[in-house]
A = this chain, B = another copy of it.
Amino acid sequence: MTSTLPPSVDPQRLQEVLDGRWAHVRRDARENLGEPEFAPVYGESMQEARKRVTRMSKKLADSGRVGLGFPKEYGGNDDSGGSVTSIEMLAFGDLSLMVKAGVQWGLFGGAVQLLGTKRHHDAYLRDIMSFDLPGCFAMTETGHGSDVQQLRTTCTYDPETKTFDLHTPHQAARKDYIGNAAEDGRMAVVFAQLISRGRNHGVHAWIVPIRNDDGTPCGGVTIGDDGPKAGLNGVDNGRLTFDHVRVPRENLLDRYGQVAEDGTYTSSIENETRRFFTMLGTLVRGRVSVGGSAGSATKLALDIAVRYGDLRRQFAAPGQDREIVVNDYLVHQRKLLPALATTYALHFAQAELVGTMHDVQYKVHVQGQEIDEDSQRELESRAAGLKVAQTWHATKAIQMCREACGGAGYLQENRLPHLKADTDVFTTFEGDNTVLLQLVAKGLLTGYRDAFGSLDGWGKVGFIADMVRETVLERTAARSLVARLIDAVPGRDDDVPMLDRGWQLKLFEFREKHTLEGAIRRLRKNASTDGMEPFDMFNSVQDHVLRTAQTHIDRIVLEAFVAAIDSATDADAKALLDRVCDLYALSTIEQDKGWFLEHGQLTPTRAKTLTATVNQLLKELRPHMRTLVDAFAIPDAWLACRILEEEEGRQETMAVHDAEVRTGAEGRQASKESATDLEVAPAQ
C-alpha cells in the first residue's frame, strides 16, 4: 500500500494524470488563451470591467472556442465534457469572463439547445455562438431563488391572438441577478408558470426579446441593474420585469411541453413535477461548470500561496543568518498541504463527474436515446454534491491563501482579492449549497429510483414510513477496486496501519452508512410521533440529514481519488499521489474525529496517532509542495501576481546586503532573536 516517495517527481508526469480525458482542451487553452489579456485587470470601475469583459467575450467567440458543447450541425462539436473543461480553463483567467461565457454559452445557449427544438436551433444557435445574440437565463426571481418551482412570473396563452402573455405580477416576481441583463442581453430565456385554458402546467421557458436593436428595452420590459457586487463586476447582472408582454406561441421552448394553437397543452411527461425536474436536469452542465471553476480558482490561489511561501522568509532560526522560508513552518504546512490534498481529491472527482455527464448527455442529445432516469438522477446528485464540496472548499482555501500571503495577499495586484471576491457567490448561484446538500440527502434517503415518482413531500407520515432505503451504498467508478481494498483490511481495526487505503475507505463508508441509517431511524420515529407537525418532523433532524449528504460526498471524492491513482501509469506520479491521497483521507478523518471517536471507530490512542501521522505526511510532502502546484500547469501570465515576480529578487538583494553588513565596518549587530521567538508589531 505505502510506496516510498521518490526524492523528486517530474510535475509533467503529474500533470498528465490531472489533465485526463480532455487533455487536448486544456492544452489548447494553455497555448491559445495563455495571454495576459485573459487575466483580470485591477482597479477597474464596474463600467470599465463590464466593457472589457464584453469585448473579451466577443474575442472568445471569434476564437471558436465556445461551441464545443453545441451540435455539430451548427458548428459545434457535440462535446459536452469538452465544453465544461473549457469553462474550467477559462476560470484560470478573469472569472468575470468565465461567468459571462457561462451565462451566454452555458445557460442561455444551453437552454435554447436543450429545452428548445429545431426551429429554435435554426433561428438562434449560430448567433448565440458568435455572440451576435447576447442573451440571459432568466430563472431566479427576487422572491424565489431556491424554490424555483414556485416562480411567480406567469405566461398565459391566449388562443385568440395565438400569443402568450408574459407578466410579472408583483415585485417579488421580478427576475433578479440575471447575467447579461443590465447591459448586453438582447433576448432572454424566461422561466414562468405556463397557464393555458385556465390551468397551470408548471414552469416552462420562452425565448423572449428584451432589447431592441438600438439597445432600448422592448415594450413592456423594464430592465434594472443589480449594480456593484462583491466581485464579478465585469458581469452585468440585472433585473427584468414584464408588463403583459406578448410572446409568440413558437417562442415557447417546447421540447418537454407544447401548446397547440387552440391552447391544448401536451407533454411526453405527464407528471408536472417530474417534467419540471427533467427540464432542470438537462441543464446540469451549469452546475458542473461552477464546481470545476471553483476548483481552478482554488488551484490558482494555492499556486500563489505555495510559491510565495517558498520565497518569503520571516524569523531566523537559532544560529542561522538567513530567515526561515515560511513553508518550512509546520503550521503553514498544516494550512497549505491539506487544502492542496483536498484540491487534488476534488479534481479527480470532478473529472469523473464530467466524464459521466458527457456520456449521459451524449447518449440522449446526440445519439437520441431515451433519458435513463436513474443515471440522470444520480448525475444530478453528484453534480450538486460536488458543486457544494468544491465551492465551499474554494471559499475556505482561497481565504486561507490570502491570509498565508499576509498584507501582500490583500493587494489587488497580487490576485487573491479577485479570486476571493469573484468566487464568493459560487456557494450561492447554481443552487445554494445548503439547499443542494438537502437535494443530495433526499436522493440518499429515498434512493434515486423513487425520487421522481413520489415527490409529495417528506414531511408526510406515509412517505417517511415508506422510505425503504436499503443503505447499500452505490459505488463510484472505483467499485470493485474499493471493495477489494476494504476486504483486504487485515484483522482488528485498531492494529491497521493508518496509511492502509482499505481502512481509510472503510471509515468513510461506515460513517456514511451509519449517518444515513440514523437519519432514517429518526425520521421514522418522528413520523410515528403523534401530534408532531409535518414540518417539525423533518426540521428537527435537518442537521443530521445534511450531514448524511456531506459524508456521502466525502466518500465519493475519496473513491474517485483512489480510482484515479489506480489508472495512473507513471510510478513516481503514482507514489506521490498515493501520499497526497493519504493526506486527504486522514485530514478529513481528523477534522471529524469527534464523530469517529463517538462511534467507536477510533480509540483515543489511535486518534492521537492520527494527528502524528498527518504531521508525518506533511513532513514527507513538504519537498513536493512546489511540484504539486506546478502540475496544475497554470501559465505564468494567468497568475497575474506581482509579488511572485518581485519577492525572489528582493530576498536575494537583502541576503547580499545583510552579509555585507555582518562583515562590514558598521557592524550591525547579528540577530539576537531566534526564529521561534516571535513578536509582532502593530501596523496599520
Residue of B nearest to A315 (CB): B147
Does A6 count as interface, using CB distance less than 8 angstroms? Answer: no
Contact B228 A412 (CB under 8 A): yes
Q: How far is the CA of A148 from the CA of B292 in the complex (A)?
A: 41
Does A421 count as interface, using CB distance less than 8 angstroms? Answer: yes
Chain B residues with Cβ below 8 Å from A318 are: 457, 459-460, 534-535
CB < 8 Å: which of B154, B227, B457, B667 contacts A413?
B227
Chain B residues with Cβ below 8 Å from A511 are: none
Chain B residues with Cβ below 8 Å from A331 are: 434, 542-543, 546
Does A453 count as interface, using CB distance less than 8 angstroms? Answer: no
Chain A 664-684, CB-CB to B under 8 Å as 1, else 0, gives: 011111011111111111111
Does A651 count as interface, using CB distance less than 8 angstroms? Answer: yes
Does A117 count as interface, using CB distance less than 8 angstroms? Answer: no
Within 8 A of B (CB), among A359-393: 384
Stretch among A39-47, A119-127, A498-506 lining the B interface: A39-47
Residue of B nearest to A409 (CB): B428
Chain B residues with Cβ below 8 Å from A226 are: 411
Chain B residues with Cβ below 8 Å from A178 are: 684
Q: How far is the CA of A644 from the CA of B357 in the complex (A)?
A: 40
CB < 8 Å: which of B180, B324, B684 contacts A99?
B684
Does A399 count as interface, using CB distance less than 8 angstroms? Answer: yes
Q: Which of A229, A328, A592 has the most CB of B within 10 A?
A: A229
Contact A170 B680 (CB under 8 A): no
Chain B residues with Cβ below 8 Å from A534 are: 317-319, 674
CB distance from A671 to the nearest CB of B (A): 6
Stretch among A17-25, A340-348, A596-604 lining the B interface: A596-604
CB < 8 Å: which of B287, B411, B669 contacts A200?
B669
Chain B residues with Cβ below 8 Å from A682 are: 107, 137, 139, 280, 283-284, 286-287, 430-431
Chain B residues with Cβ below 8 Å from A477 are: none
CB < 8 Å: which of B596, B651, B680 contacts A384?
B680
Within 8 A of B (CB), among A265-316: 272-273, 277, 280, 283-284, 286-287, 314-316
Does A433 count as interface, using CB distance less than 8 angstroms? Answer: yes
Chain B residues with Cβ below 8 Å from A395 are: 399
Does A650 count as interface, using CB distance less than 8 angstroms? Answer: yes
Q: How far is the CA of A152 from the CA of B679 in the complex (A)?
A: 16
Residue of B nearest to A276 (CB): B679
Contact A543 B334 (CB under 8 A): yes
Residue of B nearest to A591 (CB): B594
Contact A330 B543 (CB under 8 A): yes
Q: How far is the CA of A144 from the CA of B425 in the complex (A)?
A: 34
CB distance from A576 to the nearest CB of B (A): 23
Tell me whether A229 and B412 are in contact in the complex, defined as CB-CB below 8 angstroms, given that A152-B654, A458-B676, A678-B147 are known contacts: yes
Chain A 217-255, CB-CB to B under 8 Å as 1, else 0, gives: 000000000111111000101000000000000000000
Q: How far is the CA of A319 from the CA of B460 in the complex (A)?
A: 10
Q: How far is the CA of A653 from the CA of B173 in the complex (A)?
A: 10
Q: How far is the CA of A682 from the CA of B42 in the complex (A)?
A: 29
CB distance from A486 to the nearest CB of B (A): 24
Does A540 count as interface, using CB distance less than 8 angstroms? Answer: yes
Contact B324 A140 (CB under 8 A): no
Contact A604 B598 (CB under 8 A): yes
CB < 8 Å: which of B191, B543, B607, B673 contacts A457?
B673
Contact B407 A657 (CB under 8 A): no
Chain B residues with Cβ below 8 Å from A30 are: none
Does A608 count as interface, using CB distance less than 8 angstroms? Answer: yes
Contact A176 B407 (CB under 8 A): yes
Residue of B nearest to A405 (CB): B428
Q: How far is the CA of A99 from the CA of B410 in the complex (A)?
A: 15
Does A31 count as interface, using CB distance less than 8 angstroms? Answer: no
Does A96 count as interface, using CB distance less than 8 angstroms? Answer: no
Does A4 count as interface, using CB distance less than 8 angstroms? Answer: no
Contact A457 B676 (CB under 8 A): yes
Tell me whether A43 and B315 are in contact in the complex, defined as CB-CB below 8 angstroms, given that A286-B682, A597-B594, A674-B534 are known contacts: no
Does A209 count as interface, using CB distance less than 8 angstroms? Answer: no
CB distance from A651 to the nearest CB of B (A): 7
Does A406 count as interface, using CB distance less than 8 angstroms? Answer: yes
Chain A 416-433, CB-CB to B under 8 Å as 1, else 0, gives: 110011001101111111
Stretch among A79-87, A436-444, A468-476, A553-561 lining the B interface: A436-444
Does A150 count as interface, using CB distance less than 8 angstroms? Answer: yes
CB distance from A367 to the nearest CB of B (A): 24
Chain A 576-601, CB-CB to B under 8 Å as 1, else 0, gives: 00000000000000001111111110
Contact B411 A680 (CB under 8 A): no
Tell me whether A230 and B412 are in contact in the complex, defined as CB-CB below 8 angstroms, given that A140-B683, A170-B654, A421-B421 are known contacts: yes
CB distance from A304 to the nearest CB of B (A): 14
Does A213 count as interface, using CB distance less than 8 angstroms? Answer: no
CB < 8 Å: which of B328, B334, B428 contacts A410?
B428
Q: How far is the CA of A546 from the CA of B331 in the complex (A)?
A: 9
Contact A420 B230 (CB under 8 A): yes
Chain B residues with Cβ below 8 Å from A608 are: 598
CB distance from A13 to the nearest CB of B (A): 30
Q: How far is the CA of A329 from the CA of B653 in the complex (A)?
A: 58
Chain B residues with Cβ below 8 Å from A195 are: 666, 668
Chain B residues with Cβ below 8 Å from A615 are: 540, 543
Chain B residues with Cβ below 8 Å from A458 are: 674, 676-677
Q: Which of A107, A334, A432, A457 has the most CB of B within 10 A?
A: A457
Contact A539 B431 (CB under 8 A): no
Within 8 A of B (CB), among A509-552: 533-535, 538-540, 542-543, 546
Contact A684 B594 (CB under 8 A): no
Contact B456 A672 (CB under 8 A): yes
Instruction: Report, nearest first, the 8 A-B pairs whose CB atoms are least far apart.
Output: A457-B674, A230-B417, A148-B681, A431-B680, A594-B594, A179-B684, A593-B594, A43-B228
**Can you sample 13 A-B contacts with CB below 8 Å?**
A45-B45, A137-B684, A140-B407, A143-B650, A145-B406, A180-B684, A200-B668, A230-B402, A403-B432, A436-B680, A438-B678, A439-B679, A455-B677
Contacts A146-B406, A170-B654 known; 14 new A-B pairs at CB < 8 A = A99-B684, A140-B407, A148-B679, A177-B410, A178-B684, A229-B412, A272-B672, A280-B681, A318-B457, A318-B459, A399-B424, A429-B683, A430-B683, A594-B594
